[in-house]
Amino acid sequence: MALIPFLLVGLFALGSDPTNDLVSRADLGRALQRFERAWMASEPTPEDVERINRAFDAVTLSFFGGRMGEAIGDLERLTASITGSEPRWLTLVAYRVRIEPPVLARSSSSSAQVFLDRLFATEAEVPAGLELRLRSAADASVVHRLPLDKRKASAASFDADEWPVGRYVVLLGAGELEVEVGQWFVVDESLDRLRAANASRLNVLSFPDPPRRQALVSCLERNALLKDRPSSNRTAEAFCDLAALQADISTEIAMLEKGQNPYRGRTGDTWRTLEFAGRKLPVRVYAPASVVSRGKPVPLVVVYHGAGGDENMFFEAYGTGVIRTLADRHGFLVVAPATMAAMNDARSFDTLVQVMSFDYWVDPKRITVLGHSMGAGAVAGLLEDRASKIAAAACLAGGGRFSKSIPPTLVVAAEHDPLANAQRLQGAVKRSQAAGAPVELWLAERYGHTVFVGDMLPEIVAWLLGHSRD
């Protein structure tokens, strides 16, 4: 998408908005996830679809203009308009909660401090009885409650010496009202020290074959996510379950030390990094259990996000990660690379396909690609450079003029898109069709630049899967 959350921060100038120093990718990510959940659960009228899409695109343009505090506030207000949330809800999501340290290592500390940062202004007052709630991810019935003074920026220190290690969901609440605002971890030992010890074990390993070399690269990069202070401006760190990752990496290192590839046939959702031409390519991989157990070749769908995003966009946004649901339903392997790292070098695509073929039984005749906005541009480039490897492609809110040598390609234009004008896309498609290119055009009526992606992915994916190379 050409949008949030994993989006414009760091790619475009932040202008003079004083809240820019406060708003992070993690803040944007949570705001977008709240919007996505509200939108996907709603039953909008045609008029609502148009209104909400225009408002969402206005938020997009605010981001492009660097007005970060204004944009995140407008996005939360748009979400509230969908859900009908009371004004007090906005006063809660207007705050970011920071807990210091963000990862409490019991070997060195047992106490933590809570800080509140105001991200945007609201008209309603902070509700009485404001409190921080820390809910155990392992046992939702375990909730620690800490009263907050709405007149101050922090609460008194709290002692977590007796708390079980693991991940805690951070919520702001007042009475029955509460919103999820982050995560916090309690661990036995410093993750920085653990990361260094793991790296020492990994750095002595070396493999002659590409499958295990790529596996070693992935494990090293996954291990690098283990930090006592995860970055709030890198979503791979900010949204990572460090407790689960810690255990996974221990298993992965043990397998590599035995000469085994820990990612071969792995099911579920995995963040990885591949290496091509001396460069790194972060990816998210989702492999349904049916893909691994099927015992026959499976389709591979490669999805490219829009400008300023990252490899997490299709798994966390674009319809609340509906691409995984579709992979379960249809039985395909899906990989989402970081588009900026992959663009303008088709060797990234070659490596991605090669590594997935190492680890899964990929059907080479059923490899398809899909991209949104900037990602559509990446797909258009692949259609020229790697047409012989692609069964079909879809360009959403982007693309261009296509040659007749490309595989079947679907272009989706949005009626009210302020960034990828629908009429221009329609004209490009007509000229391509006249030149003999196998291009088909769909129009997302009443939609703008981004929201249609999640809504139309089921139809688009079904279209892609209906194609196979001869």
Q: Per residue of the chain (470 residues), give pLDDT as tens.
A: 223 233 322 222 223 333 445 899 899 999 999 999 999 999 999 999 999 999 999 999 998 788 888 989 999 999 999 999 988 899 999 999 999 999 999 988 889 999 988 999 888 888 888 999 999 999 999 899 998 876 655 556 788 888 999 999 999 999 999 999 999 999 999 999 999 999 999 999 999 999 999 999 999 999 999 999 999 999 999 999 999 999 999 999 999 999 999 999 999 999 999 999 999 999 999 999 999 888 899 999 999 999 878 999 999 999 999 999 999 999 999 999 999 999 989 999 999 999 999 999 999 999 999 999 999 999 999 999 999 999 999 999 998 889 999 999 999 999 999 999 999 999 999 999 999 999 999 999 999 999 999 999 999 999 999 999 98
pLDDT of residue 151: 61
Residue 286 backbone phi and psi in degrees, to 5: -125, 120
Strand arrangement, sheet containing 362-372: 268-276, 279-287, 333-337, 298-304, 362-372, 392-396, 409-414, 439-444
Nearest in space to 316 (alpha carbons), one of 416, 418, 447, 454? 454
**Distance from C-alpha of 204 to C-alpha of 199, rounded to nearest angstrom:** 9
- 442, β-bridge pairs: 412
Token pair of 198, please?
A: 């793991």
Nearest in space to 439 (alpha carbons), one of 374, 381, 378, 383? 383
Burial of 242: CB neighbours in 10 Å, binned 0-12, 13-18, 19+: buried
- Helix ranges (H only) for 224-364 are 235-238, 242-257, 289-293, 313-316, 318-330, 339-342, 347-359
pLDDT of residue 67: 87
pLDDT of residue 178: 94
Per DSSP bridges, beta strands 111-118 and 95-100 are antiparallel
Contact 315, 305 (CB under 8 A): no
pLDDT of residue 10: 28
Token pair 């997009």 is at which residue?
60
pLDDT of residue 275: 97
